Chain A
Amino acid sequence: AQSVSQHNHHVILSEAASLELGCNYSYGGTVNLFWYVQYPGQHLQLLLKYFSGDPLVKGIKGFEAEFIKSKFSFNLRKPSVQWSDTAEYFCAAKGEYGNKLVFGAGTILRVKS
């Protein structure tokens, strides 16, 4: 069955610390991968997506993610977090020719100022 797992449910960092959120997927065949962010009280927003090509994907707000096919991973990174990055982050995946987007359980990030 298709699944997405996120390693940490809660992460607390100080401002300027580096961030890495883990995401692993279980899919047969080619997969499309996404990271979404949900700020408190707001809707899901797309941070970045990977379909093919360069495995290092750059997104909005200084976020990037690296697709490592051999590890079935798509980890999200940011070199220096800000207080405004406090939010919940969801990794999601779908098969190349499907339209069923499956989400991981989410990681709540709290950045201390």
Chain B
Amino acid sequence: DSGVTQTPKHLITATGQRVTLRCSPRSGDLSVYWYQQSLDQGLQFLIQYYNGEERAKGNILERFSAQQFPDLHSELNLSSLELGDSALYFCASSVVGTGPYEQYFGPGTRLTVT
């Protein structure tokens, strides 16, 4: 158990809908990262927040957005969902926002768009 929690574990929704994925980082970690992992694919970095502020953006679609709240939990919002958005979405946390620090991954949310 990494200490990072994600809810829900599974999510099935229809195309065109909007969903929110939630992540709580490890106690003491200020940085949250979101990754997308499609079937049998690698981890694609989406976005990073550090202490409530956006720190870095990766290959995140305009239909996706995220935020980190004062209690440091983070939410990833996915809208106008398409079939291709079906994937595992991981949240990870680390102590700091820069530098080569290890990231601890949550169990993931499996999103299925039908």
- The answer to whether A and B assemble together is no
